[in-house]
Amino acid sequence: MAKRIDVSDLNIYYGNFLAVEGVNVSIEPRSITALIGPSGCGKSTFLRTLNRMHEVIPGARVEGKVVMDGHDLYGADADPVDVRRQIGMVFQRPNPFPTMSIYENVAAGMRLNARRMKKSDLDELVERSLRGANLWEEVKDRLDRPGSGLSGGQQQRLCIARAIAVEPDVLLMDEPCSALDPISTLAIEDLMTELKERYTIVIVTHNMQQAARVSESTGFFNLNGVGQPGRLIEFNPTEKIFSNPDQKATEDYISGRFG
């Protein structure tokens, strides 16, 4: 549960294009780490390398090391499927499986692990995960209905329930609130604060207030120009980033004097 991730000298490529260059960062367990920066700076790309979702895109590859509790995720013996079972992900747009019920959506990850589970155990797991995602009270009477019938915010919490049902070590969130209204956003943020007791959470966000509200550490990504690789400009405690950043570029971005 809740493991630490150390990234060293990570270069991320799409084919021959160097998208993100030279990332060195340590992500602490049981905390929320926020990644901010302008569009196209590579923060989502970086996030996707943490659970090897990056390489799903044809031609995408990385150089460097991502080590989770001493275990190299890109080592010769590392299976991307295993990596993804340990590091869950929530996407920008809510994506519950439309062909499955709410119950089946939550149980989907468990079924993948091919563990034979008793119905009662599975029921309990589904309830626990939905409670964990603060969704249980809203859906307990319609677990057999399609997940796509829920509102956007509920769908996103369903996706979080699905991700935490397999009890991952780390939870990656790629702009999880960008498609949601402020009330649903608040619900997700409260949820993140609860979840960080048990998980390592990394969140990409365009909303700087959100980063300031929920995270312990913040990383600022930027790029020098179009066609240039993105870089991690600064990584510091959130309080410091938002009050007294080390880099001029960070201050410019945060204060809205960007460019």
Partner 1 sequence: MTATRTPSPPGPTRPVRRLGDRVFAGSARGAGILILVILAGVAAFLVAEAVPAITAPAEEIPGGEGLTAYIAPLVFGTLLAALIALVVATPLAVAIALFITHFAPRRLAQGLGYLVDLLAAIPSIVYGFWGISWLAPKMVPFYRWLEDNLGFIPFFAGPTSATGRTMLTAGLVLAIMILPIISAISREVFLQVPTLHKEAALALGATRWEMIKMAVIPYGKSGIIGGSMLGLGRALGETLAVTLVLSVSGGITFNLISSGNPATIAANIALQFPESTGIAVNTLIASGLALFVITLVVNMLARWIVNRRADFSGAN
**x-marked contacts with partner 1 along 109-138 as a string, rule CB under 8 A:** x--xx-------------------------
Q: According to the binding rule CB under 8 A, does residue 157 interact with partner 1? A: no
Q: What are phi and psi of 114, to 5 degrees?
A: 60, 25
Q: According to the binding rule CB under 8 A, does residue 153 interact with partner 1? A: no
Number of residues forming the site for partner 1 (CB under 8 A): 32
Q: How far is the CB of 163 from partner 1 (least distance, A)?
A: 8
The span of 10-18, 60-68, 80-88, 130-138 binding partner 1 (CB under 8 A) equals 80-88
Interface residue with partner 1, options 163, 170, 241, 249 (CB under 8 A): 163
Q: According to the binding rule CB under 8 A, does residue 85 interact with partner 1? A: yes
Q: Cβ distance 46 to 69 under 8 Å?
A: no
Nearer to partner 1, 99 or 193 (CB): 99
Distances in whole angstroms, Cα of residue 172 to Cα of each of 15, 176, 232: 24, 9, 18
* Nearest CA-CA partner of 20 in 232, 249, 248: 232
Nearer to partner 1, 88 or 219 (CB): 88
Q: How far is CA 227 from the centre of its chain?
A: 26
The span of 79-87, 134-142, 231-239, 241-249 binding partner 1 (CB under 8 A) equals 79-87
Q: Looking up tokens 């004097």, which residue turns up?
A: 257
Q: What are phi and psi of 236, to 5 degrees?
A: -150, 170
Q: According to the binding rule CB under 8 A, does residue 61 interact with partner 1? A: no
Distance of alpha carbon 177 from alpha carbon 211, whole angstroms: 12
Distance of alpha carbon 88 from alpha carbon 204, whole angstroms: 14
Q: According to the binding rule CB under 8 A, does residue 241 interact with partner 1? A: no
Helix (H), strand (E) at residue 25? strand 17-27
Interface residue with partner 1, options 145, 151, 224, 255 (CB under 8 A): 145
Q: According to the binding rule CB under 8 A, does residue 161 interact with partner 1? A: no
Q: According to the binding rule CB under 8 A, does residue 22 interact with partner 1? A: no
Distance of alpha carbon 235 from alpha carbon 240, whole angstroms: 10
Distances in whole angstroms, Cα of residue 39 to Cα of each of 5, 82, 124: 24, 30, 41
Interface residue with partner 1, options 8, 26, 99, 193 (CB under 8 A): 99
Q: How far is CA 134 from the centre of its chain?
A: 18
Q: According to the binding rule CB under 8 A, does residue 89 interact with partner 1? A: yes
Q: How far is the CB of 99 from partner 1 (least distance, A)?
A: 4
Distance of alpha carbon 142 from alpha carbon 154, whole angstroms: 13
Q: According to the binding rule CB under 8 A, does residue 53 interact with partner 1? A: yes
Q: According to the binding rule CB under 8 A, does residue 98 interact with partner 1? A: yes
Task: Count the alpha carbons within 13 Å of 108 in the hemisphere toward its beta carbon.
Answer: 20
Nearer to partner 1, 85 or 240 (CB): 85
Residues of the shown chain interacting with partner 1 in the complex, contacts defined by CB under 8 A: 51, 53, 56, 81-86, 88-89, 91, 93, 95-101, 108-109, 112-113, 145-146, 148-149, 159, 162-163, 166
